[in-house]
Amino acid sequence: MITLYYAHGTCALASHLALEYAGADYQTVRIDFAKKEQRSPGYLRVNPKGRVPALVTEQGVLTETPALLQFISQSYPGARLSPLDNPFLMARVNEFNSYLCSTVHIAHAHRMRGYRWVDENDAQAIAAMQKKVPQSVGECFQLIERELLKGPWVLGEAFSVCDMYLFTLAQWMEADGLEPSRYPKVADHRRRMTADPVVAKVLAAQAG
């Protein structure tokens, strides 16, 4: 059985959604960031990076959301979560998911985890990073709105793991100082995802 280590309100939601959409036989283990469980010796043996998600498979442990989403897609091809038979479109999936991981998520992280880039005692630098977040994250969503979200889904007519990942990061827009109505395609995407019973089931499970 696959085991997903996750924390509520994190990017691990995308992988949790993918497992549910895939119909996978899986279990979840919640990591409590408030208790710093991600830095506990037990969890560091699972994922030395001390972050989520981590996916324990029969072959070993995988980390990083784009890798998990591809693994789940390929492990459950019948669910058609990615265009596995189209090399170009599969590259598009990885292109989009890599952008969310390496650019959008990093811009978002400057709001609450500035200590990763500057000394945590440098209050002025921390505050400057936080002040920049609405602009930096907003520019990312402007690009997604204008160029990357083809509609109705990220890849166009085909629903994919890209939609699960975009939905996950779009949950943070208000906290990052963004007004969703400025990004109507993204906001509509988020509404449609929220209305999906699979998404409702996973959100309820993570909130419980």
- DSSP track, 28-58: EEE--GGGTGGGSHHHHHH-TT--S-EEE-S
Structure pTM? 0.97
DSSP 180: G
Instruction: Name all domains of the chain by residue range, CATH numbers in brackets.
Output: 2-80+201-207 (3.40.30.10), 87-196 (1.20.1050.10)
**Residue 126: is its pLDDT beyond 90?**
yes
DSSP 153: B
Tokens of residue 84, six digits: 């596995």
Range 158-173 average pLDDT:
98
- Compute the distance between CA of residue 137 and CA of residue 187 in angstroms, rounded to an integer: 15
**Residue 168: is its pLDDT beyond 90?**
yes
Q: In which element (H, E) is residue 27 found?
A: strand 26-30
The gap between the terminal CA atoms of the chain, to the nearest Å, is 22
Buried/exposed code over 117-145 (b: 16+ C-beta within 10 A; e: otherwise): eeeeeeeeebeebeeebbebbbebbeebb
pLDDT tens digits, one per residue of 47-77: 999 999 999 999 999 999 999 999 999 999 9
Q: Would you state the pLDDT for residue 114?
A: 87
In degrees and rounded to multiples of 5, residue 3 shows phi and psi of -120, 125
For residue 32, give every residue at least 6 positions away whose Cβ sits within 8 Å of its Cβ, in sequence order, or none.
Answer: 7
- Compute the distance between CA of residue 114 and CA of residue 131 in angstroms, rounded to an integer: 11
Tokens of residue 103, six digits: 């650019």
Task: Give residue 208's pLDDT band: very low, low, confident or very high (50, 70, 90).
Answer: confident
Tokens of residue 181, six digits: 């109505």
Q: What is the mean pLDDT of the chain?
A: 97
Range 24-31 average pLDDT:
98
Q: In which element (H, E) is residue 140 found?
A: helix 123-143
pLDDT tens digits, one per residue of 141-165: 999 999 999 999 999 999 999 999 9
Q: Would you state the pLDDT for residue 148?
A: 98
